[in-house]
Chain A
Amino acid sequence: MIEIDKISKRYGQTTVIDAVSLAIPRGGVVGIVGPNGAGKSTLLSIMSRLTKTDAGRVSIDGLDVTKAPGRELARRLSVMRQENHVAARLTVQDLVAFGRFPHNRGRPTREDTEQVATAISFVGLEAMADRFLDQLSGGQRQRAFVAMTLAQDADYALFDEPLNNLDIHHAVSMMRLFRRMGDQPGKTVVIVLHDLNVAAAYADRIIVMQDGRMVGDGPPANVINRRLLSEVFRVEGDVIDIDGRRVVSVAR
């Protein structure tokens, strides 16, 4: 269980996370949605100890993220951030292999090699495993970073906009992959998404962020509605049900 207890974060005078409390139990797929600047990425990076809070605390399975040993946390929680740039010249294989570091401390076993190969095939990059990252397209690079996070094989996997740059085909297969992960016993996937239809189709639970606060939380059927569109995203539109799934259609 990830427990977030009244966390706040300020940059100068502006509060970007305002006393957010949240519990994410093990299992399933959780989507986080909200307008640009709502604080989604900040929330994710506080959860994964990459950003310090000004108040409140976060614990993973009872471990305080600011105090627990890094290695211990890295085996429980993995995170893929929104911006994916690496200065060093690495191949896809090199990059994904780093995901195994919390388990092998840089001494890969046969099992590690297999996990890396599996992660690469999950994102469909087998043919490019030996390519350097700067020789990939934007979407391919994005998939390589997702594969690295998969290889880490943590109980809680957080992804910040993993569908960036992906075509429909790869977006769908990635969401199916996340869905399968979330269905495995004990595995939890938390994804920041912009596409409400994707969130509605794949998430068990959707959390809505706005101006640093959590303004919605629940299954897609309860969260995705016209009020969400008008009050949070400031667009007019319709939400219709197709085969029991919420579909958003925004007015032109």
Chain B
Amino acid sequence: MPPDRARAIRRVTMIVTLLAVLSALAFMTVGVRGSWGFVLAHRGIRLAALVTVAYAIALSTVLFQTLTGNRILTPAVMGFDALFILLQTALVTTLGATATGALDPRLLFAAECLVMVGLSGLLFRLLFRGEGGNLPLVVLSGLLFGALFRSLSSFLQRIMDPNDFLVLQGRAFASFNVVDPTLIGVAALLALAATAIVLPRLSALDVLVLGRDRATGLGIDTTQLSATIFALVAVLVSASTTLVGPTTFFGLLVANLAYLMVPSARHADVLPVAIGLAVVTLVGGQMLLERVLGFGTALSIVIDFVGGVVFLFILFRTGRR
């Protein structure tokens, strides 16, 4: 790699890291009133959740896009997070509130993760059957699946017992503002475990950008690699969705910004920047909107708006080529 390119990558990584740290500091300290101890503990929990989510989404989006060989589709656009919510809803509907309430939420979450891995694997095989696949068709069916999962969930929520609904509400309607604290530890651990599995595979993933056939020719067992990475993506999506709920265009936004800013196709270069950008957007954005501008609930709207515009932009650009 020519030295000026290496330097550019280093500079981008440093700036983004710095911004991420600053966002976290600001998130913790701006506008503290009353007891510092209380506020710091309260904000610390939220910060931990937001950072975990940012990490999980950035990682899962970039991995997913490498696997599918495109930059439009993300797990969220494909309705994976909607699938997770549907799963939770179906669980509460079938087991009932008392049964679900009695179970250890971590156990429940583990079970949900497993089902997610299975179901999303199935969905993946359905949509990406055959070499390369037909991208517009896959985008369309992904969007349709997402819509289907969302309407099924809301249908179940309409007809379910009001008591069950209350239990579900506590678990399935988290957002950037109202994070569900019970599972932060588990989610963070999962994200770390996923990282431990991904790290030794980073250079193999780099080769995968050449396409399945060339990667096979270079000695990579692409079937096994895809299956592993895909399972990780499902777990990461479950982790982030359980903490803050669905995040339609967030992953798309940060992943594409990272591709744009990093002059390299290596995952070791792109991933840190994508993760840093996710933290800046989520933590910094939340801080700005909530504390400085005083719009409590607007972040997901802003992110989805900007992300949606980016989505359309990329879609049109790819369509024209």
List A residues at the B interface (Cβ < 8 Å).
45, 48-50, 69-75, 78-79, 81, 86-90, 93-95, 98-99, 101-102, 105-107, 130, 152
Interface size class of B (residues with CB under 8 A): 20 to 34
Q: Which residues on the A side are within 8 Å of B1 (C-beta)?
A: 93
Asked if A70 contacts B219 (CB within 8 A), the reply is yes
Known contacts A86-B211, A102-B218, A152-B218; 8 additional CB pairs below 8 A are A69-B219, A73-B219, A74-B217, A87-B211, A88-B210, A94-B265, A101-B219, A130-B2
Asked if A70 meets B213 with Cβ closer than 8 Å, knowing A98-B207, A105-B203, the reply is no
Asked if A71 contacts B219 (CB within 8 A), the reply is yes
Asked if B265 contacts A101 (CB within 8 A), the reply is no
- In Å, the complex CA distance between A33 and B278 comes to 53
Q: Which residues on the B side are within 8 Å of A45 (C-beta)?
A: 213
Asked if B219 contacts A75 (CB within 8 A), the reply is yes
B250 to nearest A CB, angstroms?
23
B127 to nearest A CB, angstroms?
18
Asked if A98 contacts B218 (CB within 8 A), the reply is yes
- In Å, the complex CA distance between A99 and B219 comes to 10
Asked if A101 contacts B216 (CB within 8 A), the reply is no
Q: Which residues on the A side are within 8 Å of B202 (C-beta)?
A: 106
Cβ contacts A to B, 18 pairs, < 8 Å: A70-B219, A70-B221, A71-B219, A75-B219, A78-B217, A81-B213, A81-B214, A87-B209, A89-B265, A90-B265, A93-B1, A95-B210, A98-B206, A98-B218, A101-B203, A105-B203, A106-B204, A107-B203
List B residues at the A interface (Cβ < 8 Å).
1-2, 5, 69-70, 202-204, 206-207, 209-211, 213-214, 216-221, 265
- In Å, the complex CA distance between A106 and B225 comes to 15
A144 to nearest B CB, angstroms?
12
B35 to nearest A CB, angstroms?
51
- In Å, the complex CA distance between A130 and B203 comes to 20
Asked if A101 contacts B207 (CB within 8 A), the reply is yes
Asked if A50 contacts B219 (CB within 8 A), the reply is no
Closest CB pairs A-B (n = 9): A106-B203, A74-B219, A71-B219, A88-B209, A70-B219, A102-B219, A88-B265, A101-B218, A50-B213
Q: Which residues on the B side are within 8 Å of A70 (C-beta)?
A: 216, 219-221
